[in-house]
Amino acid sequence: MFLGNLFTNRETFKTYYKLVLEECISIGLGSLFLVALVSTFMGAVTTVQTAYNMVSDFIPNYVISQVVREMIVLELAPTIIAVIYAGKVGSSMAGGLGTMRITEQIDALEVMGINSISYLVLPKITASIMMYPLLVIIAGVCGMLGGYLAGTLTGIITPTDYVYGLRSSYNEFTVIFALIKSVVFAFLVASISSYKGYYTQGGALEVGVSTTQAVTTSVIAVLIADYLLAQLLLAK
Amino acid sequence: MIKIQDITKSFGDKLVLSEVSGVFEKGKPNLIIGASGTGKSVLLKCIVGLIKPDHGQAFYDGRDFYDSDRTTKTEIRREMGMLFQGGALFDSKTVEQNVRFPLDVLTKMPRSEKADRVNFCLKRVGLENVNSKMPSEISGGMKKRVGIARAIVNNPNYLFCDEPNSGLDPQTSILIDELIQDISEDLDITTIVVTHDMNSVMGIGERIMFIYKGQNVWVGTNKDITHSGVKELDDFVFANKVMNSLRSK
């Protein structure tokens, strides 16, 4: 019912265009630093730990960057960043909508004859679906760059081996799979968080409860969806 | 004119409104009064459709509000303006953006015309040079005035005010009351004010509905409220020390 209301009794396209742009800036630019920072360190740690676990001399060094690439593209960039995204963007969405609810701002929209679900939530979901895949791409690049820096600066792997490993046995479907996951996760985080925030009842304490529930539920949904998508798209 | 018939609302086992009926005329503020927790705000929210009553009907100039289709309901809602208890201004928007909001979303008015209309409404409520301020930067009384400006910016036919004086000093309360009265008369609109403030009742209460335990117990004017003969109303009116001292005299 909540999602069905997104598309009924909508306002003009121009109204949504502005709102979606504002949300894109808030979600995309607002998350850029955190996503870049986390993914760079994830890449660096993955490189060091992969090297630590490679005990056989028969395994060439470039395998390290192959492993880093697969881990980052398949799991770390889309899924772990989604967990962070739920914490940052999801909590902000739930908190914002919850505050609007308890301060009667949502009622004010309804009295004006505006479909508040469509006006407030549709731009958030649209912007999330548009921006999160871009954040995942940036996270992938930063992760591999972080791995490169950690590997080469500490002498674990040479630059040539690292780049060779990134390019060898490359399967482009992994990137498509990551982007499919990112769209699903973006939708889940934005819709669940908006739902929790929109239906907040009570006062400031309940806004906090809704925000926590939004993050918890979003993370659980992301993890379940992650498994289901892997089973559906990767299982042989 | 707004007419309500047999509005009943329960929350769980608790009956909050019981078959409340009444008529709210144009051109003067119609006051709904009563002690805290008697169902005044719930009644107002039922009238504007924010809460769905269990049964009953509301007619806006003859148009059935509850049983109409979504389009008619939206049309009626777009003729409403509402001042909420806390102002309900959008935190992320400036005063000007708040007042302009209904015009931005609901009309295709040119930008210059919108600016003129916003400035006119802000001037009408006695606010000037606050256009660029954020709601957090203005006082409670100013927030109420901005709320009124936003409520009237789209030329509503129906104005609803939920506790317009709550949290305000007596002087500002009188200003807000007078403003609501002037606007109702000048624009010739149907105004419903929910209040428990006796100053408002005596000041602008030319049409009063008294709600007690979810029921419409008495209807009258501020002239005959002190000698209604209704015990519950007397208890409410003379709980105020000033009113009580007047009664003794």
> Starting from the edge strand earliest in sequence, which strands make up the sheet with B14-24, in order?
B14-24, B2-11, B55-60, B63-64
CB–CB contact B77 A103 (8 Å) = no
> Is residue B100's pLDDT more than 70?
yes
**Are the C-beta atoms of A218 and A86 separated by less than 8 Å?**
yes
Domains and CATH numbers, chain B: 2-79+158-248 (3.40.50.300), 92-155 (no CATH)
**pLDDT (0 to 100) of residue B6:** 94
- pLDDT category at A163 given cuts 50, 70, 90 is very high
Q: Are A42 and A76 in contact (CB under 8 A)?
A: yes
* Cα A106 to Cα A98: distance, rounded to the nearest angstrom: 9
pLDDT band at A6 (very low <50, low <70, confident <90, very high): confident
For testing contact with chain B, the best of A13, A112, A116 (most B CBs within 10 A): A112
Task: Please report which confidence band the pLDDT of residue A234 belongs to, taking 50, 70 and 90 as the band edges.
Answer: confident
Q: Flag the least confident range among A82-91, A138-147, B166-175.
A: B166-175
**Closest by Cα among A119, A98, A129, A82 to A194:** A98
8 Å CB contact of A112 and B49: no
Residue of chain A whose Cα is closest to the Cα of B90: A105
pLDDT of the residue at B125 = 87
- C-beta atoms of B90 and A105 within 8 A: yes
Confirm if A65 and A162 have CB atoms less than 8 A apart.
Answer: yes
Contact A44, A34 (CB under 8 A): no
Q: Does residue A225 or residue B108 have the better pLDDT?
A: A225
Q: Give me the mean pLDDT over the B100-105 stretch.
A: 92
Does residue A9 have a pLDDT over 80? no
Helices (H), chain B: 40-48, 70-77, 95-106, 111-124, 140-152, 170-187, 198-204, 231-237, 241-248
**Record: contact B88-A15, CB cut-off 8 A:** no
- pLDDT higher than 80, residue A158: yes
Query: What percent of chain B is modeled with pLDDT above 70?
Result: 97
Residue burial B65-82, b: 16+ Cβ < 10 Å; e: rest: beeeeeeebbebbbbbbb
Least confident segment among A121-125, A131-135, B113-117, B241-245: B241-245
Residue B243 has pLDDT above 80, yes or no: no
Q: How far is A116 from chain B (nearest CA, A)?
A: 12
**Which of B190, B123, B186, B131 is CA-nearest to residue B156?**
B190
Which chain A residues have a beta carbon less than 8 Å from that of B70? 8-9
Check whether B247 has a pLDDT greater than 70. Answer: no
pLDDT bin (cut points 50, 70, 90) of residue B236 is confident
Which sign does the torsion angle of CA A142, A148, A153, A154 carry?
positive
Of B5, B14, B13, B66, which is closest to residue B214 (Cα–Cα)?
A: B14
pLDDT one-digit tens code per residue, A37-82: 999 999 999 999 999 988 788 889 899 999 999 999 999 999 999 9
pLDDT tens-digit series, residues B76-96: 999 999 999 888 999 999 999
Mean pLDDT, all residues of chain A: 93
Answer for the pair B198, B172: CB distance below 8 angstroms, yes or no.
no
pLDDT score at A11: 73
Percent of chain A beyond pLDDT 70? 100
Give the span between the Cα atoms of A110 and B76, in whole angstroms.
12
CB-nearest partner of A9 from B70, B104, B106: B70
Residue B242 has pLDDT above 80, yes or no: no
Are A168 and A64 contacting, i.e. CB atoms less than 8 angstroms apart? no
CB A93 within 8 A of CB A194: yes
Provide, as residue numbers in chain A, all residues whose Cβ is less than 8 Å from the Cβ of B160: 111
At B154-212, the pLDDT tens digits run: 989 999 999 988 888 888 888 889 889 988 998 899 999 999 888 888 888 889 999 99
Percent of chain A as helix, strand, coil, to the nearest 5: 85, 0, 15
Using a 10 angstrom Cβ sphere, with 0-12 exposed, 13-18 middle and 19 or more buried, the burial of residue A225 is middle
What is residue A221's predicted lDDT score, i.e. its pLDDT?
Answer: 97
Determine contact, residues B47/B2, Cβ cutoff 8 Å: yes
Residues 6+ positions from A128 with CB-CB distance below 8 Å: A23, A27, A89, A186, A187, A189, A190
